[in-house]
Structure 1
Amino acid sequence: MTKKPAPPSGLRNGLKWRDGRPRWEPSPNNRACGFAGLDLRDHAGAWMDRGAATTAADGRTLWARIVREAMKDDDQGGRARAMLRAALDLLPPMPSEPVARRQRELVADLIESGRAVLEDREPDVSAALMRAPRTGAAMVEGYFADPQAMARVAAGTRRAYKTQSKKFIAKFGATRVDEITLPQLRSWYLDLQKTISTSTANLAIGAASAFFQWAMWQDPQWITVNPCKGIGREKAKGRRIFWTVAQELAFVPWCDANGYVDVADAATVCLWTGARQIDVTKATLSDLERPAWRYVPQKTERKGQEALPGLLEPVQRRVARRRAETQTGSVRHLNDPLFLWDQKKNRPHTSESIGDRFREARAAAVAAGDLAEDFLGKTLQDTRDTCVTRLAAADVSLERIANWGGWAVETAKDILRDHYLSLLEESALETAAQLRTWAVAQGLDLAA
């Protein structure tokens, strides 16, 4: 019968050896504090040799002693907590090198126990750190609770980030921030791209990048590198959709006749100015009673990029009607009245509420047979792109198109080149007619 090898002699600091399997066992005092034993395996999953196991056992014993002392309510505990706080503040992010990373993992539970001790003893620790120290959920909470961070982004961006943060928390909420890797984020991005859309995946990664940037700016830093860098985001394809003139001529009168005057107002101003619905909800009657409407789109507020569309008769008629309503209606406006008004709820429209009303009217108009079913694929967002195509069809220069809607010149050029001009049947027919004229002049018989 083969005799089992004797365990190494002179083991210390809770290191036990059973048939070649090293394990750290807590002392009675450490066990009373809730510290668990741990099998000592290396980064590849193999049992550690004596040297590595001794180092690991020494590390766990040291952290256990510091945390245990910090649990005391006497002066010695106060000094231990100060030492623990300093150690945690100086603790670098999780290493990426496998051996060093494994060494950290072997004491990770004790480090978390230490953080929990400090949270219980310090009620003025930030709410984000109190709830879950340096996890993805804590990072998101800390970001939205930071007034300086919120001042850097527009209200619309904050709302978008709030929405995307739910996806982030569902995936990474319980994971420590310094353990979230680029490959993990890349996998999440590809999954969102596949299951939802490229546009949503890009927005989610943009929100996550803002969260990680906030974590980098904390003192001490939560992380030293933003793991969203190099994610490989792909450009979302444009919708390639715009309203036809026939659809406008059918939908707007239908809305007026069927209790959706507010939707007709929004659609008309969006179609004839290229403004986004969020900007139309902010426009006052005085803004739209001028020959031209000068405003800074919410999307470009930080850049200060202005839009300056001229206001033609379709817009002017609707503004005049709305002005008459404010003068004869029961609601008295202390300030300059807003243009878009929700008559059903007797309050100004928001971007969300006018979007809901538009979708309701769109479905009703199609159900009534006044518009074809393909109109269900049109959105208020598409009116902005429609305005670009109309300006281009009217031979307006790129520079003036950009000034009209608050686009960058290159953006207007990309929109027209990549998405819209190629879809305009009128442009194609006009080009064909020019080609026919040239061919005839060259003596070519196209009928042959």
Structure 2
Amino acid sequence: MTLAVGGREMPASAARAPDVPKLKLKVPYLVWRDGRPRWVPGPALRAKGAKGADLKSAEGAWLGLEAAIEAARKLNAEMADARPLTPKPAARGASVVDLVEDYMRSDDFSRLAATTQDTARSKLRAIKFRPARHGEPETRELFGLSPARAIGKPEAKAFFEHCRKTRGLVSARHIIMLVSAAWKWGSTSTTWRLTGENPCHKLNLPTADARIRVAIEAEIRALDGAAEALGLWSVVDAVYLALFSGQRQTDVLLLADPFGSNRSAADRAAAGEPIRLRQKKTGAVVAVFCAPPLVARLAQMEERRRARAVVRDELLVDERSGAPFVSRSQFDKRWREVRDLAIAGDAARGLEPCPSLNTLTFRDLRDTAVTWLFRAGANYPEIGSITGHSPATIITILKHYLLIDETDARRANDKLTAWLAAQGMRL
């Protein structure tokens, strides 16, 4: 038998010659190095679990050419129908899920705001399980099972894209933020001692468009009418508190009376004194001077409290349970009930339908408060002093909250026109 090497014929026995370091054959994955045959699978076969092998006889002798070709073809045939390997889960205490769970048991996590902790707990499930289809059992997310020390930016970015397609952009960003926070904690943990760059940093993730939704007077009146009809006055009480304080929903629900005073909030508001509250998320104490609509609403709230002999400090009390709202979900249920009636209307109760409320959420009231303050001429520091935002971030936040429309454009043009006239320019 002869082999074609370098354009010349040579005996197969000469394949061991020093001047022939490597011989390439037309059999997939079979290579000949220094007279020794070896099967070297490519990436596709390695993904199925294939590993390179020396082609030897049972006695350990190197196979000849024909035997090596036959052995290589047999190996190729065996791997042709093989399925890709399923990544093996990391050992207990080493996976991404383990890292996140350890972080959520840490002191760092316990110091976060309650709402932030609740969001993190809801996102942990997304790291553990794939979205379950109807009637099918849940399956584990391979990313969550992967060794935490082995993930890099490509794996984090791929998992983000997977979550974005299955759970939406906003949820996907929250999930990656949770993994990032856990990694950051792990880098200072004596148990984990993670090293290297955080794989969730600088992934160039897309951001959702800023959602600006400002309520209008007709919508507030429709909500008020629906709440009156249902006997759920506390829902619109919360609406007024949010509109004229610019506070987050959690802070509105927890607002207590009194705060450092034995006088009611209604009495202090009527006297022009502020209502002070401590923000749950930031711990900052802010003072809210009440606009006339809120002063009137607080007076109505005080009358209802006295009529029902309410002795709780919290301003907002669920009429049906007689207790404060213990969770956002409890309040959200009442909010949806009032809003749904306001949307549909009820001729028998004299309620006109208000379909535009279909797009309004309670969170939009914070946007509305900031926008109304800006429309009224309040500057950035003044708005921040009410909402509790730091001066350093107020401008960035307003990019989300302010709705720029023709009113601002007209006012800006009027100022430019007046300035040109004052300068005496003739252009």
Asked if TM exceeds 0.5, the reply is: yes
Letter in structure 2 aligned against 1:247: E
Q: Take 1:42 and 1:428, find their aligned partners in 2: how far apart are those partners?
A: 60
Segment of structure 1 superposing worse, 282-291 or 199-208: 282-291
Q: Take 2:124 and 2:185, find their aligned partners in 1: how far apart are those partners?
A: 14
Q: Which residue of 1 aligns with 2:43?
A: none
Q: What is the 5 A alignment of 1:278-289?
A: 278-287=250-259, 288-289=265-266
Q: Which residue of 2 aligns with 1:88?
A: none
Unaligned runs of 5+ in 1: 6-18, 23-40, 51-107, 116-131, 443-448
TM-score (norm 1): 0.63
Matched, 1:345 2:321: yes
1:283, 1:339 within 8 Å by CA — same for their partners in 2? yes
Segment of structure 1 superposing worse, 266-275 or 314-323: 314-323
Q: Take 1:231 and 1:164, find their aligned partners in 2: how far apart are those partners?
A: 19
Shift of 1:239: 0.8
- 1:396 is paired with a residue whose SS is coil
Could you report, residue by residue, the CA deviation over 1:219-238 in whole angstroms, capped at 9, with x for unpaired residues?
34363233212222344322
Residues 20, 416 of structure 1: CA spacing in aligned structure 2 closer, same or farther, 3 A cutoff?
A: closer
Shift of 1:357: 1.5
Could you report, residue by residue, the CA deviation over 1:408-432 in whole angstroms, capped at 9, with x for unpaired residues?
3354434545652413x54445556
Residues 212, 413 of structure 1: CA spacing in aligned structure 2 closer, same or farther, 3 A cutoff?
A: closer
Could you report, residue by residue, the CA deviation over 1:190-229 in whole angstroms, capped at 9, with x for unpaired residues?
3333444433222211111122233333334363233212
Matched, 1:238 2:207: no
Q: What is the 5 A alignment of 1:380-391?
A: 380-391=362-373
TM-score (norm 2): 0.66
Q: Which residue of 2 aligns with 1:269?
A: 241
2:179 to 188, 208, 221: 208
Residues 385, 419 of structure 1: CA spacing in aligned structure 2 closer, same or farther, 3 A cutoff?
A: closer
2:226, 2:338 within 8 Å by CA — same for their partners in 1? no
Q: Which residue of 2 aligns with 1:322?
A: 301
Q: What is the 5 A alignment of 1:11-410?
A: 47=52, 132-146=92-106, 148-170=107-129, 171=141, 172-221=143-192, 223-225=194-196, 226-287=198-259, 288-289=265-266, 290=268, 291-301=273-283, 305-329=284-308, 333=311, 337-349=313-325, 350-368=327-345, 370-409=352-391
Greater Rg by CA? 2
Letter in structure 1 aligned against 2:124: S
Aligned residues: 329
Shift of 1:294: 2.6
Could you report, residue by residue, the CA deviation over 1:288-323 in whole angstroms, capped at 9, with x for unpaired residues?
44321233322323xxx4432211232233333333
Richer in helix (by share): 1
Letter in structure 2 aligned against 1:348: P
Shift of 1:165: 0.9
Shift of 1:175: 1.7
Same amino acid, percent of matched pairs: 24
Letter in structure 2 aligned against 1:140: V
Letter in structure 1 aligned against 2:251: D
Shift of 1:243: 0.6
Residues 371, 188 of structure 1: CA spacing in aligned structure 2 closer, same or farther, 3 A cutoff?
A: farther
Could you report, residue by residue, the CA deviation over 1:124-179 in whole angstroms, capped at 9, with x for unpaired residues?
xxxxxxxx231223223322333x23333121111111011111122333222122
Q: Take 1:420 and 1:297, find their aligned partners in 2: how far apart are those partners?
A: 22
Letter in structure 2 aligned against 1:320: A
Shift of 1:356: 2.3
- 1:238 is paired with a residue whose SS is coil
Q: Take 1:346 and 1:379, find their aligned partners in 2: how far apart are those partners?
A: 25
Shift of 1:330: 5.6
Q: Take 1:166 and 1:277, find their aligned partners in 2: how far apart are those partners?
A: 25
Q: Take 2:243 and 2:366, find their aligned partners in 1: how far apart are those partners?
A: 6
Q: Take 1:42 and 1:355, find their aligned partners in 2: how far apart are those partners?
A: 49
Could you report, residue by residue, the CA deviation over 1:235-266 in whole angstroms, capped at 9, with x for unpaired residues?
43221211112322332243223322111101
Q: Which residue of 1 aligns with 2:348?
A: none
Shift of 1:364: 1.3
